[in-house]
């Protein structure tokens, strides 16, 4: 994967990163009991945030995370059974593109974050 991004890709990465920084945890808290791919989603978040992750991989991951956050997408999230299908497809496409960069540490961080989220919602 080349490290360089075109100016358009760099601008898109900046916009996606801003959206994720602002809205990811709020959207996750609102939907985490409904999203079947939650473990992968949070692992991708930690991979995207990792300074060691190459820039091009970050661009792909932040794009997938931003798509998850969008209030309107191809299939509205509130639709039973289908609502997160398009989000899952985008996420898994991103994961396949950057799989070597998603490390066990990212998955451990995700598990710990989800455990904390579950505990905070139970209390």
> Chain-centre distance of CA 1, in angstroms?
20
How far, in Å, CA of 59 to CA of 75, rounded?
23
Looking at residue 3, its pLDDT comes to 65
Domain residue spans of the chain: 7-122
pLDDT tens-digit readout, 71-80: 665 445 444 4
Residue among 22, 25, 9 at smallest CA distance from 58 = 9
Q: Taking the complete model, does pTM exceed 0.75, yes or no?
A: yes
Query: 11 pLDDT exceeds 50?
Result: yes
Q: Quote the tokens at residue 101.
A: 């960069």
pLDDT tens-digit readout, 89-99: 889 999 999 99
The tokens 């798509």 sit on which residue? Answer: 67
């Amino acid at each position: 994967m080349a490290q360089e991004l075109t100016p358009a890709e760099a601008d898109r990465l900046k916009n996606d990163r801003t959206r994720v920084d602002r809205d990811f945890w709020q959207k996750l808290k609102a939907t985490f009991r409904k999203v079947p791919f939650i473990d992968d989603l949070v692992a991708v978040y930690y991979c995207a945030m990792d300074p060691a992750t190459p820039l091009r991989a970050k661009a792909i991951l932040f794009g997938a995370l931003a798509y998850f956050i969008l209030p309107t997408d191809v299939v509205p999230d509130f639709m039973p059974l289908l609502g997160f299908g398009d989000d899952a497809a985008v996420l898994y496409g991103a994961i396949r593109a950057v799989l070597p960069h998603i490390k066990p540490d990212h998955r451990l961080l995700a598990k710990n974050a989800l455990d904390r989220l579950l505990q905070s919602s139970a209390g």
